[in-house]
Amino acid sequence: MDKKKSSLPDEQRKETEEAAQKAASAGYFKTALVQFGQRIGIVEQTKLEPKFQSNINKLISYHNTIYNIVDSIELQIQVNPSVTAMQKVVSPEGENLWEMLGGWFHYMTMFHFEGHDALMLQKYSHACGKIAQKEIHVQKKTRAQYIRKMRMYTGDESFELNDNVKQLNDLLHGIDETRHLLKHAQTTNEVKTRGDAYHRMIKAFNRKGNEVQASLDEVPMEASLHQKELLKFAGEVSKYHDFADNHLTEVLLRLGINPNVKPNLKGHNKKASKIMKLF
């Protein structure tokens, strides 16, 4: 997915990105020197306000939670691991498990059974085809409609959040480094140059902090949307399972079998063995 565009004006966004890149590209020696200075107390260390840092950690945790929820949701509608491994929820054509089961029933009807047994398998084959159509319909709508906001949240918005938090931390280091250099300026020109660099870091940090705060402010609204999507998905999956159950129950009833009565399995073991040998 494409990265979500920053809400900052173009010029300010460019300045902020340049400052963040400069802070992030500080050489290993400079970074280590500043960190060493902070440890021994000769370089000031700027930290995020504890509550702000705590809220950022909670937001990252929420993003991870939604990511896991999306994964779990998609496993509810696609149980074939070879499909989910391809980051898909709809099976390739002809590989839907219900379709394949229905195809096997039809094959056994044509070549291995006859009479009542063939009729039973044919009815199950037809039911499997109907269930497959319904399942594919639910699979397609899950990503496109049911959990669209949640999937975007784990894509575009998670990318933006991670990028903003990284840049925020880079800018913290940039502030410390440029302030330390400013304090040790020895000429008027150095004071001006290093002062400008320090000021740019502070402005970039404030802008990036505002972007992160905007993400925090959106959480209540986002969480409400995600709850609605989760409930909608649960309702649609419930309808799908009812659909499958009703079709399979209808087959039994049409065959004169009461699904609520325990079947008499006498004589069926041989038939079951015959079917299993086909696999």
Has residue 252 been placed in a domain?
A: yes
pLDDT, position 2: 44
C-beta separation of 172 from 46 below 8 A: yes
71-114 tens-digit pLDDT? 888 888 888 888 888 888 888 888 888 888 888 888 888 777 77
Residue spans of the chain under pLDDT 50: 1-3, 28-29, 36, 275, 279
Domain that holds residue 97: 49-277
Establish if 211 belongs to a structural domain: yes
Question: Is residue 260, in this structure, part of any structural domain at all?
Answer: yes
Whole-number pLDDT of residue 24: 63
Q: Determine, yes or no, domain membership for 62.
A: yes
Per the structure, the count of domains in the chain is 1
2 domain-assigned: no
Question: What's residue 1's pLDDT?
Answer: 41
Residue 257 lies in a domain: yes
135 within some domain: yes
CATH of the domain at 127: 1.20.1270.60
pLDDT value, residue 101: 86
Query: Which pTM was predicted?
Result: 0.70
- Would residue 42 count as lying in a domain? no
User: Beta-carbon neighbour count of residue 123 at 10 Å?
Assistant: 19
pLDDT reported for residue 155: 80
CA 79 to chain centre: 17
